[in-house]
Each structure stands twice: as C-alpha cells, then as structure tokens.
Structure 1
C-alpha cells in the first residue's frame, strides 16, 4: 500500500529515524540512488507473459492502464520499466493522492483511458480490496490468482468473482 513517501531519499530518512541513525545528506542521496537502482532492476524483470499479453491487447486495439498503490520511488523507477511503454495510462497513488480501494482512483484511470468504467476490465491479485473497489465504480474485476504465488491474504481469499491463473487467460476474456 502507498506509504506516503514521495522519494527514495525520504524513505531512507524514515528508516534512519526508526534506527536512530543520523546520516549526512550525501549519504542519504547515495543510499537513495542505490535503492532506486534496485527498484529499477526489479521492475526490469516483469512477469514472463506480461509483455506478450500487453502487446496482444494493443494489437487488438485495446488501451491499457495501470493503477498502483506505489510510493514515489516506485513510480520513479516505473519510467524505466520495459512494461511502461505498453501501458497507455499509469495512475500511481503517490501522484494522485488516492489509494485503492477508493473508487475514485479507478474512475480517474478510466477517464484517462477515455473510457467508461463499464468498458474497463480490472485485473489484479486482489490485495487491499482492490477488486471490490474497481467493481464499485462499475468496472468488471477479475482476480489473477497464480498458483505458487498465493498467500493467506484475507482480501484475496474472500474474492468470489471471476479468477484467472495466468495473464494469458486474460486474452480469452477480451474481444
């Protein structure tokens, strides 16, 4: 969930405060660069099928959007992700002041996609009641529940709507 932290440096400072450390500004900046680099490396290795599925959706003339409860440093790293160019819209909670499951964050994404919420299909793992948040604004929601990636998160386990086990399953859900 969005931590309310706008930058890597702010995140590093918060950690230092928790451990009673007093780094210099230079040390904070250096640690922030290392941390952001690690975020960029993580974002550089997307789910195996993600690029292919997103490209297939584009070939079908469909627009794609991302809604994320990410902190600012993740949003900064997103720009360098190989997936970023495959999304028409990216809505980060840290940038818009809204978090999932607030229906307004989904409504904002649909407006930026120039689509009605009822024309949108929201796919997610189901944390933070995000699927019910998307449904509340009128989107159709589908849970991505990948075997070996499930946990005991109550929000995920309570979902009774449609479920897919792979991103490639998404292609059969859209025209």
Structure 2
C-alpha cells in the first residue's frame, strides 16, 4: 500500500555521513576566505592561522577537546602569543558560525529521500566527524527532523573509523550492526570502519564533488556499492521510490 511502512526491509536502519553525503563538502574558496577573515579579526598571521585551524587543531576539535569556537580561537592565539579583545573574538566566532550555517544546507534531493525512507519504515541515523558548531546548529536545519539518532564526533569524543562510534549508532537506533547500511563519501576510511563491525557500506560520490575533496581516499579504490546522488539510494532498496510515496 502506498505510504505504508514495509515489514520486509533489507535493513532496519540507514546511517548517513554528513559532509559530502547529506550536504555538500565545504568548498575551498569560502572556507579559506572565512579563515582569513577570522585571522584578521583577531590579529593573527594569515598563513599560520590557516595552518593551525585546518591541520593542527582539527583533531582536537573533532574529538571534542576544544569544546567550542572560542576555545579553538584562544588556543591558536595563545600559541601565537596574541591576546585579542573579546569583541574581536566574537566577530571571529560569528563568522565561523555563519559559514557552518550556510554549509548545512541539504543537497537538493536529500529531504525527499529521507522522507521516502522514513515512510517506508527505515530508522535513520547520522555519524559525522565534526566540530562543535555542527551540533550547536543542528536543530536549526531541516535535516534534524528526519534523523532519529545523530552522532557527532566532538560530542561523543570518538572519530571514524573507531568501531565504537558505529556501535554507538547501532545502540541508539536499537539495531544489530548487520541490519544497518552506512553511506558516506569515503573520507577517513569510514566505509571500511563500518564494514569492520558487520555493517554494509555504500559510497556516495556525486560527479561535481570529485574536484572538491581530495581527502576521500576510499573513493578511489572502493569496489563496493556506490551511488551518485542521495536519491540514487532508493533504487538499491526494495520498492522504495519517491514517486510512490
């Protein structure tokens, strides 16, 4: 029956990556421009600030050791011997949050696909390696209404491909790992990480993203299932189609 949840689903839950999957990866130009403005606001050398934000402090942010944007800025400034004024820090924080807010716009086919999956009876989860801005703004995004169990690395202090973060998603969704499908763009060996605990994994690699994220090393060697759009997932699932729902 159209619109009725099915009982013979191939999985109990679909678990998504966030950046490069449900939303586009951050593009280099606006990301770099934002960091340059932040450096200018707090009086930090541009190149050093970018290096420290993009590389040196990313592991600390993603693992929750720098609990918010202010802590990250102060960490860098302390390392550089800089003491910005509170209003300078607030300008930098505001700029960073604005970039994150813009980056959390769902891909054009994401919401209709999530709606179709929920109507069909799937539980929906999320595992994202991210910093504190994402969970801070998550409830303001339209994606939040569809995801039953969102997991953010900075909140749980675990990063992919640590098996514990996948097990945590399964626990919160109340499913066995082998009844879950994980979909991601192949960064941080995240697909292999899902497979290692018994989940099935699927690569998403939209054609226009090829040039934007060279960090997706798994995408170059992946031999498993793959899709080129979120909506393309529906063709891999038995009888779930947007036009039917």
Common topology (TM > 0.5)? yes
1:11 and 2:85 are equivalent in the alignment: no
More moved, 67-76 vs 22-31: 22-31
Superposition deviation, residue 17 in structure 1: 4.1
Superposition deviation, residue 2 in structure 1: 4.8
State the Cα RMSD in Å: 1.8
**Corresponding residue of 1:32:** 93
* Partners of 1:17 and 1:40 in 2: CA distance: 27
Count of residue correspondences: 174
* Partners of 1:131 and 1:103 in 2: CA distance: 11
For residues 82-101 of structure 1, the aligned pairs below 5 Å read 82-101=142-161
**Corresponding residue of 1:41:** 102
TM-score, length-normalised on structure 2? 0.66
1:158 and 2:218 are equivalent in the alignment: no
Higher RCO, Cα 8 Å, sep 6+: 2
Superposition deviation, residue 75 in structure 1: 1.8
TM-score, length-normalised on structure 1? 0.90
Structure 1: gaps of 5 or more residues: none
Query: Secondary structure, in 3 states, of the residue corresponding to 2:135?
Result: helix
Structure 2: gaps of 5 or more residues: 1-57, 239-245
**Corresponding residue of 2:50:** none
1:145 and 2:201 are equivalent in the alignment: no
Partner deviation per Cα, 1:92-115 (whole Å, 9 max, x = no partner): 111111100011101100110111
* Partners of 1:137 and 1:2 in 2: CA distance: 23
